[in-house]
């Protein structure tokens, strides 16, 4: 298995909703990442987990809450989002960053 699987592919949520994005990889990669990508822009790093511990939080608002239950799973819990949070949320993993990242196909989030 050489894929990163993200679910759901599309999500529409209201500003008072609570939802979660899920990311899964079975490549034994030690690091997992959440990126946010706005239209026609490059991905922006949000969080990095290394060996299941949060190692980087790029000053992301607390309405985004990451969780790494085990070495294969990464969640992003969403609460009280704003319309400007609408974007493509990408998960990635790597065994060694110099080898490059493996990205999932993303969750396209729309906040209404």
* Chain positions contacting another protein, by CB under 8 A: 4, 6, 40-43, 45, 56, 90, 92, 96-106
Closest to another protein by CB, 66 vs 106, is: 106
If the CB atoms of residues 28 and 58 are measured against another protein, the closer one turns out to be: 58
Q: Is the dihedral of CA 76, 85, 89, 106 positive or negative?
A: positive
Q: Residue written as tokens 């939080």?
A: 57
**Smallest separation (angstroms) from another protein to the CB of 81:** 21
Q: How far is the CB of 32 from another protein (least distance, A)?
A: 13
Strands (E), the chain: 4-7, 10-13, 18-25, 31-37, 44-50, 53-57, 64-70, 73-79, 87-94, 102-103, 107-111
> In terms of CB distance, is 40 or 53 closer to another protein?
40
Q: How far is the CB of 75 from another protein (least distance, A)?
A: 17
């Amino acid at each position: 298995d050489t894929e990163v699987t993200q679910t759901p592919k599309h999500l529409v949520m209201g500003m008072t909703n609570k939802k979660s994005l899920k990311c899964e990889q079975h490549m034994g990669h030690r690091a997992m990442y959440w990126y946010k990508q706005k239209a026609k822009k490059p991905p922006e790093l949000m969080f990095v987990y290394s060996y299941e511990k949060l190692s980087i939080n790029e000053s992301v608002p607390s309405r985004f809450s990451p969780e790494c239950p085990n070495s294969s799973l990464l969640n992003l819990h969403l609460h009280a989002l704003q319309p400007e949070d609408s974007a493509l949320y990408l998960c990635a993993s790597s065994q060694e960053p110099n080898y490059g990242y493996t990205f999932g196909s993303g969750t396209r989030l729309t906040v209404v």
